Amino acid sequence: MDQSIRDYGPAAPHGPNMTGQHDAQDLRSDMSPNEVSVFHSILHPDDIYDENGTYWADLPMGKRVAFVGKIDAQEARDEAKSIWTMFKNDPLSPVGFYLKNMVVPGAGLLLEGYVLFSIGNVRPLLQAGFGSCWKTFETCDEIWTQAIDYLEICGIIVGQILVGVVGDWLGRRWGLIQDAVIMFVGLLMLTAAWGVTENGWVICYVWSLFFYGIGVGGEYPMTATSGMENAVGSGKVSTKQDRLHRGRKVTSAFLMQGWGQFANQVILILLLLVFHHGSGNPPYSKVAVQWTYRVSFAIPAVGTLWLVYFRYYKMKSASKQLMISKKKSHVTGYDTRSLKLTLTHFGPRLLATAGAWFANDVFFYGNKLFQNQFIAVLTPNNKSVMVSWLYNLINVGVSLVGYYLASFLIDNKLYGRKWMMIVGFMADFILFVVPAFKYEFFTRPENIHAFQAMYFLSSFFNQFGPNSVTFLVAAEVFPTPIRATAHGFSAAVGKLGALLAAVLYNYISTQQKFYVVPWFGLAGAVLTFLFLPDTTGLDLKEQERRFSYIRSGREEHYHGIAVHPKHLSLWERIRGVGKHYDAKLDYESKINEMRVEWVESQERKFTEKPNQALDDDDDVYPEHVNKYFSRTTTDLPTQRPMMEPMNEKSSRDAGSSNASDELKISKEE
């Protein structure tokens, strides 16, 4: 709601007033021991606060390391026990759990990764089978063959901006469905692309790829925002899973892009062996080339058609968090006010997410689109497409290790998003700048393995760093109403980096590429260090709470952990954004906000719909919270009697949906 704290009249004589001026200890003086315990459990969850109610980032370094290690170790043990229990009940259930929670949410990225990065794989095959068109350009226009790289990226940019806006306007679900439909039609076009002349075929192929790219672009903001928001839940009380595993959940979906690349390379190898009579060696017939690349596009079309079905019939609640946010702000349609506030208050963050993504994509897409040129350095005098494909398969395998390690460590509070991105950028900078100035030395036959190691390591650190982190933080550091827009814009600016690489790499040599690329890694590290906040371990709902204060024009009254120096960028700290952080005042403010939400829920329950159960998004709290508010709140409209607290059963039911991770209330209490 716009007003985080509303005035319901005079406060209870001994309860908290609505001005946010009482010391937190004063609130506790009016509570029973059980009530104090319950409020402490809700407002000081034990995964981010110690037993004294001190936030983990406020602890001295030694205690901070010990606290984080203890929480992570306990969570790892709990997860191991859960997996073992599933395995004992059904040996395949852990696999089913992984497929449901990691693979299916990232299915769109798996399919787009398969197709998108197949372009770099298919090009050498087309050059080998249709040399007069794709290599010597006797029958085809060279500009159109180069336009494949340009228009593919342009289509992605269009999709990222367009679907990002649609996702915030109409909802995540319709954006997801739209992406899947566009990708399916685009795959049919790619599979059937042909022309009266070979040049006409190229033109048809290029525009089919542009159309497909629109769907690919939309996958970025939709997968990131829906995956992130679906992990949060609908209750007012924040979830432990969101804080501890939000990054892993989103990057586990994102890493399916790597599996898409891997699957594409394996399938291309198998198809070429099938259609080229069991051999991967040249010369390649036009028939073998045609069947190989067309069938490779037809296979993901089947998976994409399933994706259309799944998103339409099985993801009906994908837009729930966005709708809740809009309902609180009384907004229908696109929230232009939130967009303006975001540009005003979070502009430097947008510079960080968009600028870092731009720098990253010069690395990432440049390497993928022109990987055959890099691999040619590793395999001089090689004429076989199969050899290049096998080297690329190794490179993708190394990248997958980086994806998984990023997913494993991205939620670690002592390392997390920001340091992972800085280290990844700096590693890529070093791994490109070293061979740039010693190119002849590292490309000699006796030193080629060192060159190969650096090239493969650059792929590893690109995934275990900026490529994974940018996908996450570009949605995470912005408010819900414009999250997809901000992510789509950041990703689109990133694709301008890919476009720069696609254009530039056509006109410079391989060594010159090594001269140019490293500095983007350095620039990305600097942008990240200056302007990107570290949101590792910070609850998404806490960020939404801060934004509600900003939206109501009361930013200075927010004292919570979203403005803790740990969760602000260097630029924001220099500007004094964190000067209002105060743990005691924040504790009091949260109780006051809970009181207001409780009052509103009681009003809805007893006036607007007295014979109906509360909606899923109505505010319900555990029994002792209800008793406390019922006893101390005297500022309700006088024409209605004081509401009775919820009974024990409804209290427990509410707690199971809203606070099950933070709060366990025994029957004795």
Residue spans of the domains in the chain: they are 58-91, 97-531
Pair 300, 111: CB distance under 8 Å: yes
Q: Which tens digit of pLDDT belongs to each residue from 292-348?
A: 999 999 999 999 999 999 999 988 777 777 787 777 777 777 888 889 999 999 999
User: Maximum distance among all alpha carbons in the chain?
Assistant: 90
- Residues in contact with 191: Cβ distance below 8 Å, sequence separation at least 6, in sequence order: 294, 297, 298, 301
pLDDT greater at residue 169 or residue 325: 169
User: At 49, is the secondary structure helix, strand, or coil?
Assistant: strand
Pair 399, 254: CB distance under 8 Å: no
Pair 578, 572: CB distance under 8 Å: yes
Average pLDDT, the chain: 83
Read off the pLDDT of each residue in 614-627 and give the average, rounded to a whole number: 62
Read off the pLDDT of each residue in 161-178 and give the average, rounded to a whole number: 87
76 has pLDDT over 60: yes
Q: Which tens digit of pLDDT belongs to each residue from 88-107?
A: 999 999 999 999 888 988 89
DSSP letter string over 266-324?
HHHHHHHHHHTTT--PSP--HHHHHHHHHHHHHHHHHHHHHHHHHHHHH-TTTTHHHHH
Q: What local confidence, expressed as pLDDT, does residue 653 receive?
A: 39
**What pLDDT band is residue 620 in, cutting at 50, 70 and 90?**
low
Which CATH code is given to the segment(s) 97-531? 1.20.1250.20
Six token digits for residue 239: 């979830």
Smallest Cα–Cα separation from 7: which of 550, 551, 552? 552
- Residue 29, Cβ neighbours under 10 Å: how many? 10
Pair 314, 175: CB distance under 8 Å: no
Q: Give the least confident one: 215-224, 401-410, 526-535, 625-634.
A: 625-634
Q: Which tens digit of pLDDT belongs to each residue from 418-465?
A: 999 999 999 999 998 998 888 889 888 888 888 888 888 999 999 999
Q: What local confidence, expressed as pLDDT, does residue 645 receive?
A: 38
608 has pLDDT over 80: no
Indicate the Cα dihedral angle 41, 44, 50, 52, nearest 10°.
-80
Per-residue CA distances from 262 to 184, 259, 399, 442, 658 (Å): 20, 5, 10, 27, 40
**What pLDDT band is residue 615 in, cutting at 50, 70 and 90?**
very low
CA 652 vs. chain centroid, Å, equals 33
514 has pLDDT over 80: yes
Q: How far apart are the first and last CA of the chain?
A: 32
Classify the C-alpha dihedral 614-615-616-617 as positive or negative. Answer: negative
Distance in angstroms (rounded) separating the CA atoms of residues 669 and 661: 18
Report percent pLDDT > 90 for the chain: 48
Q: What local confidence, expressed as pLDDT, does residue 15 receive?
A: 36
Q: What local confidence, expressed as pLDDT, does residue 373 receive?
A: 66
Smallest Cα–Cα separation from 365: which of 609, 153, 105? 153
**What pLDDT band is residue 535 in, cutting at 50, 70 and 90?**
very high
Distance in angstroms (rounded) separating the CA atoms of residues 604 and 611: 10
Smallest Cα–Cα separation from 66: which of 44, 79, 50? 50
| Category of 17 on φ-ψ map: left (φ > 0), alpha (ψ -120 to 50) or beta | beta
Q: What local confidence, expressed as pLDDT, does residue 116 receive?
A: 83
Pair 566, 581: CB distance under 8 Å: no
Distance in angstroms (rounded) separating the CA atoms of residues 387 and 393: 10
**What pLDDT band is residue 554 in, cutting at 50, 70 and 90?**
very high
Distance in angstroms (rounded) separating the CA atoms of residues 485 and 69: 36
Q: What local confidence, expressed as pLDDT, does residue 630 receive?
A: 78
**What pLDDT band is residue 38 in, cutting at 50, 70 and 90?**
confident
372 has pLDDT over 70: no
The answer to whether the peptide bond before residue 91 is cis (omega within 30 degrees of 0) is: no
Report percent pLDDT > 70 for the chain: 86
Read off the pLDDT of each residue in 638-649 and give the average, rounded to a whole number: 38
Q: Which tens digit of pLDDT belongs to each residue from 133-166?
A: 999 999 999 989 988 888 888 999 999 998 888 8
Q: For the packed helices 371-378 and 347-369, what is the interaxial angle rounded to 10 degrees?
A: 50
Do you know the residue count of the chain?
Answer: 669
107 bridge partner residues: none
DSSP letter string over 106-125?
GHHHHHHHHHHTHHHHHHHH
650 has pLDDT over 60: no
Distance in angstroms (rounded) separating the CA atoms of residues 214 and 178: 10
- Residue 60, Cβ neighbours under 10 Å: how many? 9
Smallest Cα–Cα separation from 12: which of 659, 634, 497? 634
Classify the C-alpha dihedral 99-102-108-111 as positive or negative. Answer: negative
Distance in angstroms (rounded) separating the CA atoms of residues 156 and 305: 20
Per-residue CA distances from 442 to 368, 445, 511, 519, 583 (Å): 21, 8, 11, 20, 55
- Residues in contact with 608: Cβ distance below 8 Å, sequence separation at least 6, in sequence order: none
Beta strands in 356-466 (DSSP E): none
pLDDT greater at residue 645 or residue 116: 116
Indicate the Cα dihedral angle 129, 133, 134, 137, nearest 10°.
140
Six token digits for residue 470: 């940018």
Number of H helices, E strands in the chain: 30, 0
Distance in angstroms (rounded) separating the CA atoms of residues 7 and 18: 6
- The radius of gyration of the chain's CA atoms, rounded to the nearest angstrom, is 27
**What pLDDT band is residue 27 in, cutting at 50, 70 and 90?**
low
* Burial class of residue 562, CB neighbours in 10 A (0-12, 13-18, 19+): buried
Q: Give the least confident one: 92-101, 284-293, 498-507, 651-660.
A: 651-660
